[in-house]
C-alpha cells in the first residue's frame, strides 16, 4: 500500500525532528523518495527530488544525504566498483546482494542470530556492533543477457 504524499511528507518531518534535524523541503523529499526507492544512488535521489520540488542542486542532495546518514536516518551502502547507494532501512543489521552487471541491489535479511550476525574470529578488542556482508552475483536480467562463460570444469550431462 502506498502512503499518500502528504502523509509520507508528514511522517518524514516527524522523523527529521526526532533526529534533531531542521525540516526542509529537500530533506522531506529525500526521505520520502528513499522510502519508496531503496538502494538509490545520489543521482537517482536528485532526479526524484527534482521531479517533486523543481531544481535542486547536486550539492544540496549530497548535503541532505550526509546529514541523514550522520543522524542515523539513512544508511549508505558502498559496493566496490559501484556508486554509493542509500536506503531508509537502518533499524536492523541486514546485508545486501549486488549484481555485478547492472548494480541492482537487494536486501538480504540477517544470516543468523542477533546483530552482529557474524562474529569475527579475532575482534582486536573492538566493540563490534555491525557486520556488513555483500553477496555478489548476477541478477536474472543480467544472467540472461550475459551468460557466464564456461570454465571447463562443468560436467556434461
Check whether 117 has a pLDDT greater than 70: no
Share of the chain above pLDDT 70, in %: 86
Question: Which residues 6+ apart lie within 8 Å of 148 measured at CB?
Answer: 138
Task: Give Cα separations from 132 to 66, 77, 109, 116 (angstroms).
Answer: 19, 9, 11, 9
What pLDDT shows up at residue 153? 53
Check whether 113 has a pLDDT greater than 60: no
In which band, very low, low, confident or very high, does the pLDDT at 49 lie, cut at 50, 70 and 90? very high
What pLDDT shows up at residue 151? 59
pLDDT tens per residue across span 73-102: 999 999 988 899 999 999 887 889 999 988
* Separation of alpha carbons 70 and 63, rounded Å: 10
Domains and CATH numbers, the chain: 5-77 (1.10.10.10), 92-145 (3.30.1490.190)
- Considering only the C-alpha atoms of the chain, give the largest distance between any 2 of them, rounded to a whole number of Å: 63
Amino acid at each position: 500500500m502506498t502512503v499518500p504524499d502528504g502523509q509520507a511528507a508528514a511522517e518524514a518531518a516527524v522523523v527529521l525532528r526526532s533526529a534533531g534535524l531542521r525540516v526542509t523541503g529537500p530533506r522531506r523529499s529525500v526521505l520520502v523518495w528513499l522510502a519508496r526507492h531503496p538502494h538509490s544512488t545520489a543521482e537517482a535521489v536528485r532526479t526524484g527530488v527534482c521531479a517533486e520540488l523543481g531544481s535542486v542542486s547536486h550539492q544540496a542532495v549530497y548535503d541532505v544525504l550526509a546529514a541523514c546518514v550522520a543522524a542515523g536516518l539513512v544508511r549508505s551502502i558502498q559496493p566496490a566498483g559501484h556508486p554509493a547507494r542509500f536506503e531508509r532501512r537502518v533499524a536492523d543489521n541486514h546485508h545486501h546482494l549486488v549484481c555485478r552487471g547492472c548494480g541492482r541491489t537487494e536486501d538480504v535479511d540477517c544470516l543468523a542470530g542477533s546483530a552482529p550476525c557474524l562474529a569475527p574470529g579475532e575482534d582486536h578488542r573492538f566493540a563490534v556492533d555491525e557486520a556488513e556482508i555483500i553477496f555478489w552475483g548476477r541478477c536474472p536480467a543480467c544472467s540472461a543477457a550475459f551468460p557466464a562463460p564456461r570454465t571447463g570444469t562443468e560436467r556434461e550431462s
